[in-house]
């Protein structure tokens, strides 16, 4: 695929900033676009195409977290969105979920691409834990719809995008998360446009990220200098998303992509793949793709996109874990799933909870993309 | 008014199959003379999932009704439901033929235009109900015949649902060699049973809280403004409890019936004991947590109904408020919660103008079946009076 065939669309404030961050990272011209309701954010963006939607509805002021407004805005200017997609062979949509525009307009863009038979891949982030509950709910509500509309969804909570030291200022945390996702988008873009000897194609990507396989997550590591392979693999497995590599064990399929210069050696690849394969389960289907760029001498970007059927911690945790009493006292008759008072594992972000109980074998009762058979308290993130 | 023939109403609910035998007396009063009730099998979320099991349960319920009503049942009026049922308003417009006076012919042609709806191939029309006519710019004309105008419009409420699930419900009955003489949407039957003429005129919302589905029907200005169903109900409450506390379904159901409630009072402290059962040694759960789980589900369900009504542009305030029927209406606090969600007064509905067997005439869960009998009796009367011009439902549901 030529670089011109791939359109990278940033939707909403965060999506726009991430895509904007890609401009200038590579020498060749990227086909980037930003879609937003906020005129000021668009004005500040360096994307190739900028689309202000809903100017009559939002008056260029953003949606203020109103996803309905975002959707109406996209509907009003659907013609313009479709126009943006002409002469495109693949669309990468980047959105930060939780805001009014990102959460709603991303779906509309994906749908428009779907109607035009253009394959899509969507990179979406979930809000930080410290952000408001409303944002978390909005983001969670948007995910099922996006999964429906795209060929592949890669979903990462902002908290997991980079290894936090816990000391970052808020003003650092957002740019850091955004830059991290940007690297991953870039890695995919490179994989598609600058294939090395080991090819991973768009269909490989779609295979890993397709919604039926579970929720795809990603992790990345960037290294420079000597012994790149070893340190990249080590860094990657330490990535917060992979839980020290343990998360890979139950992944169905894993796509490893390596972007490096012409000095990439077979040993480097071996150093990368051996620990990753060791961390994966026996049935995991591991694909590798390389992209060689002469400009990347002694520089290596390693990304992993993996589909985990059970979901990721922070994306779709299992049911709250019952703490085992450690003392020798007889266990109390448990009246609360969390007798120690410790909060369960990210109950707020449960997208695919442990089960639908008696409705396990029935068709889901879908309403606005929500499966109503899943207990309400779980979907609403109510702690018991 | 002559007495109607004996009518058998049948509802294949998710929790229970109910068969009622009744007739309309000379004074227009409905008399229930027999009933049969059987726990359902093979039905989930209002849909038949195992036709043989559903037919068996139906057979048992009909047999019990035959015995108690001392009748032989050959045909029934059947209620259908399911989360797939929706309603839309379709407007038909025709020019008045004889420019001056509107005739029956004009009314018939506008009705045909309004009825001609384009549904997806997998859906089928259940009922077409006339709402009101408009003549030129004059809105809400009840009876346009003889009035003057150039253009006649009619708003028609079309109730439709997915074909195959409805056919399967009918088939489960027909497999027993029982004739289905009429099919009525359960939500409409419930409304018919519990609302008075005044309530319909003032505007009212009837919500049938069933085990598998939640049906609603809203009346405004004496006509049905919207109706439909959600595929969630009391079984979901039970399932939520079972999953939340890791207890078996049977215990969860008991917990719901004995300790459940739709609102969380401030003093909801203490614990609730869950009795042991097969493979389950029993435990206690916090009352607060239990009520939280139940409240979340019921609140969500009611809000979804409200949202549907907003989508269907039903006026937000209905003078006669909300009337709850169905097994879920027994849940403590549900009327308070509904009053809060809808911002209207709320009460539990009872079948009206019905006497006979005490259980069948008093419980909100029998609203659908008594409504079916009312429907069939009125239809029978209309037939005797000659063809009704504006369709059956206009005549029946407006009264």
Q: What is the pLDDT of residues B259-284, one digit of tens each?
A: 999 999 887 788 888 888 777 888 88
Best interface-test mutation with B: which of A68, A137, A319, A335 has the largest number of B CBs within 10 A? A335
- Which residue from A333, A367, A382 is facing B292, i.e. has the nearest CB? A382
pLDDT of residue A308: 79
A25 touches chain B (CB under 8 A): no
Nearest CA-CA distance, residue B295 and chain A, Å: 9
Report, as an integer, the average pLDDT of B237-245. Answer: 93
Complex ipTM value = 0.86
**pLDDT band for position B225 (cuts 50, 70, 90):** very high
Nearest CA-CA distance, residue B238 and chain A, Å: 9
pLDDT surpasses 90 at A304: no
B376 touches chain A (CB under 8 A): no
pLDDT surpasses 50 at B320: yes
Report, as an integer, the average pLDDT of B139-160. Answer: 89
pLDDT of residue A315: 63
- Which residue from B83, B283, B300 is facing A333, i.e. has the nearest CB? B283
**B334 — alpha (psi -120 to 50), left (phi > 0) or beta?**
alpha
pLDDT of residue A213: 67
A367 touches chain B (CB under 8 A): yes
* Inter-chain CB proximity A335 and B285 less than 8 Å: yes
pLDDT surpasses 70 at A341: no
A337 touches chain B (CB under 8 A): yes
Contacts of A330 in chain B (CB under 8 A): none
Report the share of chain B in percent with pLDDT over 90.
62
pLDDT of residue A335: 39
Contacts of A380 in chain B (CB under 8 A): 296, 300
Determine which of A51-60, B6-15, B148-157, B321-330 has the lowest per-residue pLDDT on average: A51-60
pLDDT surpasses 60 at B392: no
Minimum Cα–Cα distance from A372: chain B residue: B232
pLDDT surpasses 60 at A118: yes
pLDDT of residue B398: 36
Nearest CA-CA distance, residue A303 and chain B, Å: 37
**Better pLDDT: A252 or A120:** A120
pLDDT of residue B66: 94
Report, as an integer, the average pLDDT of B110-127. Answer: 86
pLDDT surpasses 90 at B14: yes
pLDDT of residue B253: 93
Contacts of B296 in chain A (CB under 8 A): 375-377, 380, 382
* Inter-chain CB proximity A375 and B304 less than 8 Å: no
B297 touches chain A (CB under 8 A): yes
Distance CA B71, CA B76 (A): 12
pLDDT of residue B6: 92
**B333 — alpha (psi -120 to 50), left (phi > 0) or beta?**
left
**pLDDT band for position A384 (cuts 50, 70, 90):** confident
Q: What angle do CA B118, B124, B128 make, to 5 degrees?
A: 75
Contacts of B289 in chain A (CB under 8 A): 335-336, 384
pLDDT surpasses 70 at A330: no
Q: What is the DSSP letter of B28?
A: S
Top mean-pLDDT range of A277-286, B116-125, B195-204: B195-204
Minimum Cα–Cα distance from B242: chain A residue: A357
pLDDT of residue A313: 63
Report, as an integer, the average pLDDT of B112-139. Answer: 87
Within 167-196 of B, beta carbons closer than 8 Å to A belong to none
Nearest CA-CA distance, residue A352 and chain B, Å: 14
Q: Backbone phi, then psi, for A375, in 5-degree steps? A: -50, 140
pLDDT surpasses 80 at B285: yes
Within 264-323 of A, beta carbons closer than 8 Å to B belong to 319
Nearest CA-CA distance, residue A375 and chain B, Å: 5
pLDDT of residue A282: 79
A116 touches chain B (CB under 8 A): no
B122 touches chain A (CB under 8 A): no
Set out the domains of chain A in order of their start, with CATH numbers: 3-193 (3.40.50.1440), 212-308 (3.30.1330.20)
Tell me if residue A138 falls in helix, strand or coil.
helix
**pLDDT band for position B2 (cuts 50, 70, 90):** low
Tell me the torsion sign for CA atoms A258, A262, A265, A266: positive
Set out the domains of chain B in order of their start, with CATH numbers: 86-161 (3.30.1490.110), 196-350 (3.30.420.40)
* Inter-chain CB proximity A357 and B242 less than 8 Å: yes
Q: What is the pLDDT of residues A229-283, one digit of tens each?
A: 888 888 888 888 887 777 888 787 888 888 888 888 888 888 888 888 888 877 7
Distance CA A186, CA B159 (A): 51
Report, as an integer, the average pLDDT of A72-76. Answer: 80
Distance CA A345, CA B337 (A): 31
Tokens coding A306: 């993996």
- Angle (deg, nearest 10), helices A266-279 and A228-237: 20
Exposure of A124 by Cβ count < 10 A (0-12 exposed, 13-18 middle, 19+ buried)? buried
Q: Backbone phi, then psi, for B18, in 5-degree steps? A: -120, 130
- Tally of CB atoms within 10 A around A70: 32
Report, as an integer, the average pLDDT of A122-128. Answer: 87
Nearest CA-CA distance, residue A335 and chain B, Å: 4
Mean pLDDT of chain B: 89
pLDDT surpasses 50 at A371: yes
- Which residue from B249, B283, B304 is facing A334, i.e. has the nearest CB? B283
Report the share of chain B in percent with pLDDT over 70.
96
pLDDT surpasses 70 at A354: no
**Better pLDDT: A245 or B248:** B248
Q: What is the pLDDT of residues B48-88, one digit of tens each?
A: 999 999 999 999 999 999 999 999 999 999 999 999 999 99
Best interface-test mutation with A: which of B41, B234, B240 has the largest number of A CBs within 10 A? B240
pLDDT of residue B321: 94
Mean pLDDT of chain A: 76
Nearest CA-CA distance, residue A337 and chain B, Å: 7
Q: pTM, whole model, 2 decimals?
A: 0.58
Asked whether the beta carbons of A91 and A120 are under 8 A apart, the reply is: yes
* Inter-chain CB proximity A372 and B231 less than 8 Å: yes
Minimum Cα–Cα distance from B236: chain A residue: A373
A355 touches chain B (CB under 8 A): yes
* Inter-chain CB proximity A373 and B239 less than 8 Å: yes
Report, as an integer, the average pLDDT of A26-45. Answer: 79
* Inter-chain CB proximity B249 and A358 less than 8 Å: yes
pLDDT of residue A211: 66
pLDDT surpasses 60 at A92: yes
- Tally of CB atoms within 10 A around A134: 11
Q: Backbone phi, then psi, for B365, in 5-degree steps? A: -75, -10
Q: What are the residues whose beta carbons fall under 8 Å from the beta carbon of B340, sequence distance 6 or more? A: none
Contacts of A373 in chain B (CB under 8 A): 236, 239
- Which residue from B235, B284, B289 is facing A384, i.e. has the nearest CB? B289
Residue pairs between chains A and B whose CB atoms are closer than 8 Å: 79
pLDDT of residue A165: 64
pLDDT surpasses 70 at A336: no
Strand ranges of the sheet holding A49-52, from the earlier edge strand across to the other edge: A49-52, A32-36, A6-11, A90-96, A120-126, A153-157, A215-224, A299-308, A253-260, A285-292
**pLDDT band for position A148 (cuts 50, 70, 90):** confident
Q: What angle do CA A363, A369, A370 make, to 5 degrees?
A: 70
Tell me if residue B7 falls in helix, strand or coil.
strand
Residue with tokens 């015995």: B67
Distance CA B377, CA B24 (A): 6
Report, as an integer, the average pLDDT of A189-214. Answer: 74
- Which residue from A335, A355, A365 is facing B286, i.e. has the nearest CB? A335
Q: Which residues of B328-345 are buried (b: 16+ CB within 10 A; e: fewer)?
A: bbbbebbbebbeebbebe
Q: Strand A299-308 to strand A253-260: parallel, antiparallel, or no bridges (unpaired)?
A: antiparallel
Tell me if residue A258 falls in helix, strand or coil.
strand
């Amino acid at each position: 695929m030529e670089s011109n065939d791939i359109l990278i669309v940033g939707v909403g404030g965060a999506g726009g900033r991430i895509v904007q961050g890609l401009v200038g990272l590579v020498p060749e011209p990227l086909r980037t676009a930003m879609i937003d309701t906020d005129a000021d954010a668009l004005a500040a963006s360096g994307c190739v195409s900028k689309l202000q939607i809903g100017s009559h509805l939002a008056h260029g002021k953003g949606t203020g977290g109103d996803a309905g407004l975002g959707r109406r805005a996209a509907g009003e200017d659907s013609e313009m969105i479709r126009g943006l997609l002409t002469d495109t062979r693949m669309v990468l949509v980047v959105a930060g979920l939780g805001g009014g525009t990102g959460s709603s307009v991303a779906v509309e863009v994906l749908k428009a691409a779907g109607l035009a038979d253009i394959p899509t891949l969507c990179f979406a982030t979930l809000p930080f834990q410290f952000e408001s509950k409303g944002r978390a709910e909005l983001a969670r509500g948007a995910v099922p719809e996006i999964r429906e509309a795209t060929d592949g969804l890669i979903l990462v909570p902002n908290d997991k995008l980079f290894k936090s030291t816990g000391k970052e200022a808020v003003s650092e945390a957002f740019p850091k998360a955004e830059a991290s996702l940007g690297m991953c988008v870039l890695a995919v873009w490179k994989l598609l446009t600058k294939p090395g000897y080991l090819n991973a194609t768009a269909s490989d990507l779609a295979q890993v990220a397709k919604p039926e396989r579970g929720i795809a997550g990603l992790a990345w590591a960037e290294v420079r200098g000597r012994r790149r392979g070893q340190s990249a693999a080590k860094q990657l497995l330490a990535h917060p998303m992979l839980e020290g590599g343990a998360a890979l064990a139950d992944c169905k399929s894993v796509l490893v992509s390596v972007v490096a210069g012409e000095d990439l050696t077979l040993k480097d690849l071996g150093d990368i793949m051996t620990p990753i394969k060791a961390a994966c389960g026996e049935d995991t289907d591991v694909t590798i793709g390389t992209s060689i760029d002469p400009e990347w001498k002694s520089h290596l970007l390693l990304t992993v996109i993996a589909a985990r059927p059970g979901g990721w911690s922070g994306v779709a945790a299992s049911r709250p874990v019952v703490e085992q009493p450690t003392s020798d006292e007889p266990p109390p008759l448990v009246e609360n799933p969390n007798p120690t008072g410790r909060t369960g594992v990210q109950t707020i972000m449960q997208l695919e909870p442990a089960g639908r109980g008696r409705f396990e074998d029935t068709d889901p009762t879908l309403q606005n993309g929500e499966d109503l058979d899943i207990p309400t308290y779980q979907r609403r993130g109510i702690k018991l | 008014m002559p007495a109607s023939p004996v009518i058998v109403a049948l509802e294949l609910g998710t929790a229970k199959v109910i068969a009622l035998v009744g007739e309309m007396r000379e004074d227009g009063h409905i008399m229930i003379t027999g009933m049969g009730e059987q726990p359902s099998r093979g039905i989930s979320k209002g849909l038949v999932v195992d036709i043989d099991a559903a037919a068996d349960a139906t057979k048992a319920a009909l047999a019990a009704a035959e015995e108690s009503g001392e009748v032989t049942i050959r045909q029934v009026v059947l209620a259908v439901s399911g989360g797939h049922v929706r309603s839309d308003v379709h407007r038909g417009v025709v020019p008045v033929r004889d420019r001056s006076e509107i005739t029956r012919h004009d009314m018939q042609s506008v009705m045909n235009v309004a009825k001609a709806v384009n549904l997806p191939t997998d859906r089928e029309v259940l009922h077409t109900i006339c709402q009101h006519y408009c003549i030129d710019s004059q809105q809400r004309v009840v009876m346009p015949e003889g009035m003057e105008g150039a253009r006649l419009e009619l708003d028609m409420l079309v109730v439709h649902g997915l074909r195959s699930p409805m056919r399967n419900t009918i088939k489960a009955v027909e497999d027993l060699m029982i004739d289905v003489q009429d099919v009525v949407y359960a939500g409409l039957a419930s409304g018919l049973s519990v609302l008075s003429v005044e309530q319909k005129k003032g505007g009212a919302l009837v919500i049938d809280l069933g085990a598998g589905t939640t049906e609603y029907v809203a009346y405004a200005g004496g006509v049905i403004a919207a109706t439909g169903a959600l595929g969630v109900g009391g079984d979901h409450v039970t399932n939520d409890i079972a999953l939340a506390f890791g207890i078996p379904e049977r215990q969860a159901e008991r917990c719901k019936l004995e300790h459940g409630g739709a609102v969380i009072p401030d003093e909801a402290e203490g614990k609730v004991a869950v009795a042991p059962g097969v493979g389950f040694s029993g435990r206690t759960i916090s009352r607060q947590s239990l009520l939280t789980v139940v409240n979340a589900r019921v609140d969500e369900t009611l809000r979804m109904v409200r949202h549907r009504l907003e989508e269907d542009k039903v006026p937000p305030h209905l003078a006669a408020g909300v009337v709850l029927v169905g097994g879920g209406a027994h849940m403590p606090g549900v009327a308070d919660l509904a009053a809060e969600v809808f911002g209207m007064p709320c009460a539990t509905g009872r079948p009206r103008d019905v006497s006979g067997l005490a259980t069948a005439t008093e419980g909100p869960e029998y609203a659908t079946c008594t409504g079916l009998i009312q429907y069939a009796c009125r239809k029978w009367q209309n037939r005797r009076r000659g063809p009704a011009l504006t369709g059956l439902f206009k005549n029946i549901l407006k009264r």
